[in-house]
Amino acid sequence: MKKITVIGTGYVGLVSGTCFSEIGHQVICCDIDQNKIEQLKQMKMPIYEPGLEDLVRKNVHDGRLTFTSDVSVAIQHSEIIFIAVGTPMSETGEADLTYVKAAAKMIGENLNDYKIVVTKSTVPVGTSRIVRQIISKHAFTSVSFDVASNPEFLREGSAISDCMNMDRAVIGASSDMAAKIIEEIHEPFHTKVLITDLESAEMIKYAANAFLATKISFINAIANVCELVGGDIVKVAEGMGLDSRIGNKFLRAGIGYGGSCFPKDTLALHHLARVAGYDFSIIQSVIDTNDKQKTIVIDKLLKALGDVEGNAISVLGLTFKPNTDDLRYAPSLSIIPILLNKGAKVKVFDPIALDGVKRYFGASVTYHDDVYDALHDSDACLVLTEWEEIVGLDLDKAKSIMKEPIIIDGRNCFDLEIMNSRGFHYQSIGRPAVGEERIGNLAVTN
Ligand SMILES: NC(=O)c1ccc[n+]([C@@H]2O[C@H](COP(=O)([O-])OP(=O)(O)OC[C@H]3O[C@@H](n4cnc5c(N)ncnc54)[C@H](O)[C@@H]3O)[C@@H](O)[C@H]2O)c1
Ligand SMILES: O=c1ccn([C@@H]2O[C@H](COP(=O)(O)OP(=O)(O)O[C@H]3O[C@H](CO)[C@@H](O)[C@H](O)[C@H]3O)[C@@H](O)[C@H]2O)c(=O)[nH]1
């Protein structure tokens, strides 16, 4: 059992801190946001993540997990310090390291004994060395310390299970001893451990995210070609995925990736490469393809309705994926303003994120916590997130309450045959529109 202090109690800090306490370590999660810490002490979760509250309660109850806003004391208390602060996108696209640097400074100022400072935040190659320099600069004593990079790979919405059953732990460290200690703290996870140098560990995180984003943009591009020449992207992806070299994951075509990671990490990698003298054109194409993909549903809507001015448009699903309340870089935040600019009356539904979205749209849209209320009297509906409530929609009921049975589905939630038999005007991504058969690049309307 080791003492671990986690600096930054956001998504990663809270989830990974809780999971490390669950496997037996003594964990202190600290944050400069006092309000967040006070809420956590009262067992109010700052994020929506299935299973998180129960696991936090259990570990707090068992005395392995505590929360504090006294970052200095928390640092002094532990031998292992995780840095899990945000690394947001700056205006130029590079990762903003302000919070990482501030955390390193605080660690230096509170270096009372040997410590291993582990960066879990996603950071550009070279950051661990910067962290080491900052700690040395601010340390009052000559106490020794190590730095390490141990990137986090969890996904929002399945974060607890991703963390408890991680595919691998990547560990880059400034000494063999530090690498061994970090490997040991992972032992109860029974996962594969890859020990690397610091730079490789940092690069693995960016490369993994950029590769996954590339898979998504690639399948979206194939979907767009299918719409022009024929083919059903769901079948195409299935056929590709059966090749074990390709695999079936991350081949779901849709309105593109959003979230707090892929958009910022692809840009940060592109920036990192450019500054180093390499034009990473593949990543630029991935980003451009994703940007265009977001608004494809608007083109389909305009084609179906002609004009949206004065029309009631239901937008179903606002978060960037289901099972999270995170709205960072969610496609809905790009799509709704376009609808509003075109004069549509926008009615939004999301099972979790309505409060969050009010910050962006105020009184300019109407908010519905019942999916059928959102569909009532609407001229068309856009599906942006595959929430269970949306995928499991009672289609007959939906059709009976909509003014026009037009569904533009950005997540391929519904079966084409079923939509056809129920009489919807249904368009999805990379699949033949209902009522339309394609032979080669020749569209034949039934
Ligand atoms: N969100 C994810 O699913 C995910 C997954 C893997 C990796 N990551 C990476 O992990 C990092 C953290 O992401 P996140 O989504 O958890 O961020 P977040 O923005 O949700 O949380 C960061 C937290 O750090 C706190 N903080 C900032 N400076 C601090 C300081 N000096 N001392 C103490 N606390 C401080 C903030 O108050 C905030 O609560 C990022 O680099 C991100 O790219 C995120
Ligand atoms: O086949 C797919 C898979 C995903 N997505 C979209 O891609 C985005 C990201 O999804 P996902 O990767 O599941 O969620 P994140 O929580 O953003 O997780 C990613 O980003 C994290 C932060 O770096 C990493 O830790 C994870 O490994 C990585 O999957 C979402 O908008 C999804 O709708 C698709 O469009 N098609």
- CA distances to 155, 172, 177, 190, 208 from 183, in Å: 22, 10, 10, 10, 21
Q: What distance in angstroms lies between residue 218's CA and the mean position of ligand 2's atoms?
A: 14
Nearest atom, ligand 1, residue 10 CA: 21
pTM (2 decimals)?
0.96
240 lines ligand 2 (CB under 6 A): no
Q: Which of 161, 262, 383 to mutate to test the pocket of ligand 2 (most atoms within 8 A of CB)?
A: 262
**Average pLDDT over all residues of the chain:** 95
Nearest to 175 by CA among 146, 202, 133, 198: 146
Strand order in the sheet with 366-368: 366-368, 345-349, 312-316, 380-383, 406-409, 425-427
Name the residue at shortest CA distance from atom 19 of ligand 2: 155
Strands (E), 57-104: 65-68, 80-83
232 lines ligand 1 (CB under 6 A): no
pLDDT at residue number 436: 62
Say what the ipTM of the complex is.
0.98
> Is 226 designated active site?
no
Q: What is the largest CA-CA distance in the chain?
A: 80
Q: Which of 85, 127, 206, 326 to mutate to test the pocket of ligand 1 (most atoms within 8 A of CB)?
A: 85
- Catalytically annotated residue among 19, 163, 261, 413: 261
- Rounded mean pLDDT, 397-406: 96
Q: Does the pLDDT at position 267 exceed 80?
A: yes
Between CA 134 and CA 185 the distance in angstroms is 25
Query: What's the DSSP call for residue 432?
Result: P
- CA distances to 54, 116, 337, 427 from 254, in Å: 33, 42, 19, 12
CB 85 within 8 A of CB 14: no
Q: What distance in angstroms lies between residue 18's CA and the mean position of ligand 1's atoms?
A: 15
pLDDT at residue number 437: 54
What is the residue type of 70? D
Which ligand lies nearest to the CA atom of residue 75 in the structure?
1
Which ligand lies nearest to the CA atom of residue 40 in the structure?
1
Q: Does the pLDDT at position 359 exceed 70?
A: yes
Nearest atom, ligand 2, residue 205 CA: 23
* Helix/strand number for the chain, H first, E second: 19, 16
Q: Does the pLDDT at position 132 exceed 70?
A: yes
Which tens digits make up the pLDDT trace of 48-62? 999 999 999 999 999
Which ligand lies nearest to the CA atom of residue 7 in the structure?
1
CB 8 within 8 A of CB 36: no
156 lines ligand 1 (CB under 6 A): yes
156: annotated binding-site residue? yes
Q: What distance in angstroms lies between residue 60's CA and the mean position of ligand 2's atoms?
A: 30
> Please, which residues bridge with residue 444 across strands?
437
Measured at the CA of 217, the angle between CA 215 and CA 222, to 5 degrees, comes to 95
CB 441 within 8 A of CB 230: yes
pLDDT at residue number 439: 47
274: annotated binding-site residue? no
Q: Is 383 helix (H, G, I), strand (E, B) or coil?
A: strand
- Rounded mean pLDDT, 415-431: 95
pLDDT at residue number 154: 97
Which tens digits make up the pLDDT trace of 188-244? 999 999 999 999 999 999 999 999 999 999 999 999 999 999 999 999 999 999 999
Between CA 12 and CA 130 the distance in angstroms is 21
- Rounded mean pLDDT, 64-72: 97
Nearest atom, ligand 2, residue 152 CA: 25
Query: What's the DSSP call for residue 147?
Result: E
Q: Does the pLDDT at position 35 exceed 50?
A: yes
321 lines ligand 1 (CB under 6 A): no
Q: Where on the phi/psi map is residue 406: left (φ > 0), alpha (ψ -120 to 50), or beta?
A: beta
Confidence tier at 435 by pLDDT (50, 70, 90) = low
Which tens digits make up the pLDDT trace of 366-381? 999 999 999 999 999 9
pLDDT at residue number 140: 85
- Rounded mean pLDDT, 304-327: 96
Q: What single string gives the DSSP state of each residue in 185-236?
A: HHGGG--EEEEE-HHHHHHHHHHHHHHHHHHHHHHHHHHHHHHHH---HHHH
162 lines ligand 1 (CB under 6 A): no
Confidence tier at 151 by pLDDT (50, 70, 90) = very high
210 lines ligand 1 (CB under 6 A): no
8 lines ligand 1 (CB under 6 A): yes
pLDDT at residue number 167: 97
Q: Does the pLDDT at position 446 exceed 60?
A: no
pLDDT at residue number 440: 47
- Residue 23 tokens read as 């496997």
What is the residue type of 37? I
- Residue 126 tokens read as 């070279």
Domains and CATH numbers, the chain: 3-196 (3.40.50.720), 206-292 (1.10.1040.10), 294-445 (3.40.50.720)
